[in-house]
Structure 1
Amino acid sequence: MTLDRLRPVAELLLDPMVAAADRIGLTPDGVSVVAFGFALAAAGGFYLATPLGYLLGALCVLANGWLDLLDGALARTQNVDSRAGDLLDHVLDRYADIVLVVGLAAGIDRYGLGLLAVTGVLMTSYLGTQIQAVGLGREYGGLVGRADRLALVGVTGVVAAVVTDPLGPLSVVGWLLVLFAVVGHLTALQRFWGAWRDLGT
């Protein structure tokens, strides 16, 4: 399961947004920064842990995800894609991942669970880029990629705005953090094992 496989389809749907962004003079780096701003806003909403906060957070996560696709497509349209832009995009994506998980964990006062979740998220992303670094190409596959995480965070934000009672020992947000903690590390190990075999070791 990974929505990252649908990235080419999503980028086709972005064509009108890319054209509009290009017309008004936006740059890919500027879009990356705005996307990170939406991640910060989402984290703030999740930290409030109110129905309105969760709904606003979910909308901001959706905006972050679309803008994360837009910056790369815009760079290719403007023929300005570069290693520096790719670096900025990756750094801001990782910080966005961190602030989103921290916002979710802080909102329900589950910092230990947040630590387990954020390490799973970061290791998943790290393995994706490290596999590229050893010459196997960028890895988006696995149990839960970044697109899956953003979709799950957005859906959970909407559900948390409606379902305020705990589901057993944890809230809806708490269960999402458990999922990220467990599946994140499993995805990282899955990516590692696949790359290890591809390297012929």
Structure 2
Amino acid sequence: MLNIFARASVARITDPVGGWLVRRGLSPNTMTVLGTAGTIGAALWFLPRGDLFVGAAVVTVFVLFDLLDGAMARVSGGSTVFGAVLDSCCDRLADAALFGAIAYWCFVGADDRVTGIAALVSLGCGQVISYIKARAEASGLSADGGLVERAERLIIGLVGVGVHGLGVPYILQASLWLLAVLSVITVVQRLLAVHRSASEQAA
């Protein structure tokens, strides 16, 4: 949802930075891999140890690399097929590491199974949301939209983790269960979108 409303505004900021990085010899694929490696490393290092605020802050920095690789691709003349596949795969790996680390901390560090389940639901549904779109597009169908795409999932998850790390009670539980519910709804929304697209194509 945020992709629709914020893309143009964000591009005005990221495109000049992306152009500067390209002129320095960096490629969009390099930026994708660096951002993913940083996200995975920070999530798996900080969050399981309970360094929630620092972990959320560092992960956020590396997640922003995902904006820059797209800007770099636009400046370079457009993304390649391989670059698009690489970006999608790296997004899935980064999300798995982030929400897996959150779930681990909930189960082991906080002994909070209920919130850990919410993290796992968010993780699983997040992967399925992206898969539905990819599988639909491979079949010539449409599955865009939904309440929580990747940007919303990351914002809700990282804000909950970071603010909880500052000592605000119940914010992590509330954010993860909100995300879990919205993610389930989004899975249903995308499946319905695919069904409509398939029906229209058949007609």
More helix by share: 2
Structure 1 residues without counterparts, runs of 5 or longer: none
Matching of residues 64-79 of structure 1 within 5 Å: 64-79=62-77
**Residue of structure 2 equivalent to 1:127:** 132
Say if 2:119 is the partner of 1:114. yes
Query: What CA distance in whole angstroms lies between the structure 2 residues aligned with 1:197 and 1:76?
Result: 32
> For residues 193 and 80 of structure 1, do their structure 2 counterparts lie closer, same or farther at Cα, with a shift above 3 Å needed?
closer
Identity, in percent, stands at 29
| Higher RCO (CA < 8 A, seq sep 6+) | 1
**Residue of structure 2 equivalent to 1:155:** 159
**Residue of structure 1 equivalent to 2:186:** 187
| CA RMSD between the two structures | 2.1
> For residues 194 and 122 of structure 1, do their structure 2 counterparts lie closer, same or farther at Cα, with a shift above 3 Å needed?
same
Q: What letter is aligned with 1:116?
A: V
- Per-residue CA shift, 1:118-170, capped at 9, x if unaligned? 1111111112222322224572x2111101111112211321122354x3xxx
3-state DSSP class of the match of 2:199?
coil
TM-score normalised over the length of structure 2? 0.83
**Residue of structure 2 equivalent to 1:47:** 48
Q: What letter is aligned with 2:93?
A: Y
**Residue of structure 2 equivalent to 1:27:** 27
Equivalences, count: 191
TM-score normalised over the length of structure 1? 0.84
Residue 36 of structure 2 contacts residue 63 of structure 2 at CA under 8 Å; is this kept in 1?
A: no
> For residues 77 and 44 of structure 1, do their structure 2 counterparts lie closer, same or farther at Cα, with a shift above 3 Å needed?
same
